[in-house]
Amino acid sequence: MLVHALIRDDGTVEADELCTVAAALGMSDQQVRLCVKRLVAEGRFTHEGRGRRALLHATEDTRHALAPNADFLRHAFRQDAGLAPWDGVWHLAAFAVPESARTARDTLRETLLHLGGAPLQGGLYVCANAWEPYVENAAHRLDAHGALALLTTTDLRRGDTGDPAELARRLWPLAEIADRYHRLSRLAGPASPGSPTAPASCRPRS
């Protein structure tokens, strides 16, 4: 997660910046080295140079997988600034992948959850934001696009619940999500007097 958070727009991560941020989070250089070694061995990054002068390059698959994170982060900042209010449209994705393609089915399900979707019932997921390009890209990669159906609605109900705010409370673990943000806020807050100043790389990148 730390390495992924520091990827620049050109797909690189500077080892010096990585070690600096890791130290601010209480991680050792050894932990960072082992993490980088594993990511390279798994084919997620390539490595150039040595020590703190090294440069990591995210592979094409890694950049493709992480692209939605940057897009969603930009959208979140716009929402927080009041520049992208919710338009009242729910985005739904349904699929029926046969048992013979279980791996593709499970991967597609995990992808929908990773993209911020919530299950309504078996094979049907909902998201409050436009996610169609990302869902379709994932389905194409898994050769499951023919089993995918996409639709939108402004009239979503589950049982007797139709109020959007109440639906969100029932579909997503909002309290858990809020607690994570509170913990992140405490960790990434302003440095106390006399402590090292948090590097700019600690701030979310857009």
Q: Residue 95: what residue type? A: F
Question: Using 50, 70 and 90 to split pLDDT, how confident is the model at 190?
Answer: low
Torsion sign over Cα 107, 5, 188, 52:
positive
Given the DSSP bridges, would you call strands 55-58 and 90-95 parallel, antiparallel or unpaired? unpaired
Q: Where in the chain is the domain with CATH 3.30.70.240?
A: 82-173
Percent of the chain predicted with pLDDT > 70: 91
Report d(CA 93, CA 40) in Å as an integer: 34
Span 82-173: which CATH code? 3.30.70.240
* Fold for the domain defined by 2-62: Arc Repressor Mutant, subunit A (1.10.10)
Q: What is the mean pLDDT of residues 68-88?
A: 88
Residue count of the chain? 206
Least confident window among 21-35, 90-104, 125-139, 180-194: 180-194
SS3 118: strand
Q: Which pLDDT belongs to residue 11?
A: 87
Question: Using 50, 70 and 90 to split pLDDT, how confident is the model at 8?
Answer: confident
* Residue 181 host element (H or E): helix 174-187
